[in-house]
Amino acid sequence: METLTIKKTVSIHTPPSVVFDALTTSEKIVQYYPLKEVTSTWKVGDEIFLKGAIEDLDFTDYGRIEILLPNEKFQYSYWSDNHGTERTPKNYSTICYTLHETDSGTKLEMEHQNLKTEEMYLKMLDVWDFLLSSLKDFVEKK
């Protein structure tokens, strides 16, 4: 079965250390993403839980941290109970943030791999535009 991948790039006018901190600090993530709670030890191999609500429907996203290179890269496996799939390894996708220092701050590349359906791909395209814009606004206001 062929899977789909979303790739997005955003220029952020703040150093990679600030962006990385915002991506990997539970208390900060809930300030710019539509989540109520983020729980993790923030160590490679450990789990990450992201809890939120969309239109009064609670959801939990589950994942495991795969790569955590300070100020450079953060990658985790991802499955959400609001995507309509069974929680099995084949239904997990991968989300990867790669940070590059630039003269004006940070070039952030986001890649969301292993999307199973075109419907989910199209939905997540819009979601990622919103999420990355929210992240950018949050860190640039600091």
Confidence label for 83 from pLDDT (cuts 50, 70 and 90)? confident
Q: Quick check: 109 and 8 in contact, CB under 8 A?
A: yes
Per-residue pLDDT reduced to its tens digit, 97-110: 999 999 999 999 99
Q: Which domain holds residue 72?
A: 4-140
The per-residue pLDDT for 56 is 83
DSSP 104: T
The per-residue pLDDT for 126 is 92
- The set of residues, in sequence order, having a beta carbon less than 8 Å from that of 110 and lying 6+ positions away, is 6, 7, 8, 9, 10, 95, 96, 97, 128, 132
Number of structural domains, the chain? Answer: 1
Q: Strand ranges (DSSP E) for the chain?
A: 4-12, 35-40, 47-54, 57-69, 73-80, 93-102, 105-115
91 membership: H or E segment, kind and range: none
Q: Quick check: 19 and 99 in contact, CB under 8 A?
A: yes
**Angle, vertex CA 138, rays to CA 136 and CA 139, nearest 5:** 70
Instruction: Name beta bridge partners: 48.
Output: 40, 63
The per-residue pLDDT for 1 is 62
The per-residue pLDDT for 142 is 66
pTM for the structure as a whole: 0.94
CATH of the domain at 54: 3.30.530.20
Look at residues 108, 114, 104 and name the one whose alpha carbon lies nearest to residue 73: 108
Distance (Å, whole) CA 93 – CA 60 = 15
